[in-house]
C-alpha cells in the first residue's frame, strides 16, 4: 500500500514538474527575445514546440529571430507554419507579405495583403501602407 502511494506520488510530482516546465518555455523565450538574446530565445521556443507543436507564438517568435539573423528561408518557413496553424494571424500575414515584397514577389505580397485586409483589426493601417508600397515598387 505504501509502495503504491510512493509510486503515485513520484509520478504525479514528475508530471507536474514537466507541465510547469512546458508552460515556462514560451515566456522564457519571450523574455530572452526582448533582451536580444536570440540564440537562447530560439532554444526556448524550439523547446516549447517540442511540448506544444501547435505553439503559434513560438513559431512567430522564431520567424522574428530568423528575420533579425537574415535567414529568410527559415523566417518564411516559420511564418507559413503560423498561418497554417492560424490563417487569421495578422502579424504573420503582414510579415510574410513584407518578406515576399523584399524578394520582389509582388503578386504573392499583394495576395497576402488582400487576405490581411479582409481580417485586419490591429494591422489595418500597416496593411494600407503596405498596399501603397507594393504598388510603388511594382511600377518600377
DSSP string for residues in 80-139: HHHHHH-TT-HHHHHHHHHHHHHTT-HHHHHHHHHHHHHH-SSSHHHHHHHHHHHHHHHH
Confidence at residue 75, expressed as pLDDT on a 0 to 100 scale: 98
Percent composition of the chain: helix, strand, coil (DSSP 3-state, to 5) = 85, 0, 15
Return the domain boundaries, the chain: 1-86, 90-140
pLDDT tens-digit profile of 39-92? 999 999 999 999 999 999 999 999 999 999 999 999 999 999 999 999 999 999
Asked if residues 82 and 99 have their Cβ atoms less than 8 Å apart, the reply is no
Global confidence as pTM: 0.81
Confidence at residue 7, expressed as pLDDT on a 0 to 100 scale: 59
**Residue 131 cell numbers, joined:** 498596399
Q: Is the pLDDT of residue 5 over 70?
A: no
Q: What percent of the chain has pLDDT over 70?
A: 83
Would you identify the CATH topology of the domain 1-86?
A: 1.25.40
**Residue 9 cell numbers, joined:** 506520488
Residue 92 neighbours by CB distance under 10 Å: 25
Amino acid at each position: 500500500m505504501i509502495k503504491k502511494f510512493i509510486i503515485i506520488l513520484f509520478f504525479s510530482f514528475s508530471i507536474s514538474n514537466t507541465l510547469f516546465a512546458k508552460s515556462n518555455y514560451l515566456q522564457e523565450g519571450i523574455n530572452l527575445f526582448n533582451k536580444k538574446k536570440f540564440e537562447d530565445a530560439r532554444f526556448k521556443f524550439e523547446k516549447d514546440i517540442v511540448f506544444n507543436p501547435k505553439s503559434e507564438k513560438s513559431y512567430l517568435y522564431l520567424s522574428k529571430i530568423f528575420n533579425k539573423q537574415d535567414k529568410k528561408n527559415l523566417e518564411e518557413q516559420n511564418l507559413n507554419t503560423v498561418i497554417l496553424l492560424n490563417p487569421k494571424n495578422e502579424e504573420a500575414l503582414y510579415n510574410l507579405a513584407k518578406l515576399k515584397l523584399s524578394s520582389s514577389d509582388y503578386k504573392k505580397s499583394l495576395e497576402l495583403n488582400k487576405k490581411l485586409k479582409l481580417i485586419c483589426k490591429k494591422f489595418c493601417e500597416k496593411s494600407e501602407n503596405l498596399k501603397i508600397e507594393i504598388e510603388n515598387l511594382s511600377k518600377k
